């Protein structure tokens, strides 16, 4: 078992009450685990800002009837082949498709890829979800 450190925290009563409601809503069993998750979240955010290696998913919805849409998407993905782990294409209805791309690489390059896909005419919505590879997070 890892060595634990204990420390005290001073916090306003109202803020603590709001935190406790959040813990209950998110099914935490104790404050310690919630604090650990908040600390990890900030450490991962720092990794993104520093351009370190991350993993993530780019999800975007588009109108596949747009002229040369598939060609543009494919060209961009080929230009970033070193980042792309996997891609999944789903037909939502007659007009709309969703593409989910699993990525791994420097955060700045992943953001660049996401921005290029987002900027294609016919892309209706695009999100980027980034996480840590886990190598630097305890």
More confident residue, 72 or 67: 72
Q: Which pTM was predicted?
A: 0.81
Q: Are residues 70 and 113 in the same domain?
A: yes
117 in the same domain as 73: yes
pLDDT > 70? residue 1: no
Whether 40 maps to a domain, the answer reads yes
Whether residues 73 and 85 fall in one domain:
yes
Query: In the numeric block, which tokens belong to residue 7?
Result: 């420390």
Q: Examine the domain organization and report whether 26 and 62 are in the same domain.
A: no
Query: What mean pLDDT comes out for the span 80-101?
Result: 96
Beta strands in 22-109 (DSSP E): 53-63, 84-91, 96-106
Whole-angstrom Cα distance, residue 83 to residue 130?
13
More confident residue, 86 or 136: 86
Claim to verify: residue 79 and residue 22 sit in the same structural domain: no
Q: Which domain holds residue 121?
A: 53-132
123 and 82 in a common domain: yes
Residue 2 confidence (pLDDT) above 90: no
Task: Indicate whether 124 belongs to any domain.
Answer: yes
Looking at residue 23, the DSSP 8-state letter turns out to be H
41-55, 88-102, 124-138: which has the highest mean pLDDT? 88-102
Tokens 């209950």, residue located: 24
């Amino acid at each position: 078992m890892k060595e634990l450190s204990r420390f005290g925290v001073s916090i306003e009563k109202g803020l603590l009450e709001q935190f406790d409601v959040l813990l209950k809503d998110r099914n935490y069993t104790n404050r310690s685990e919630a604090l650990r998750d908040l600390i990890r979240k900030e450490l991962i955010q720092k990794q993104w800002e520093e351009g370190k290696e991350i993993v993530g998913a780019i999800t975007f919805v588009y109108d596949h009837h747009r002229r040369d849409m598939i060609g543009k998407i494919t060209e961009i993905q080929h230009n970033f082949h070193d980042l792309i782990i996997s891609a999944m294409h789903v037909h939502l209805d007659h007009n709309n498709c969703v593409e989910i791309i699993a990525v791994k690489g420097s955060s700045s390059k992943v953001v660049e890829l996401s921005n290029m896909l987002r900027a294609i005419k016919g892309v209706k919505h695009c999100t980027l979800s980034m996480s840590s590879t886990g190598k630097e997070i305890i």
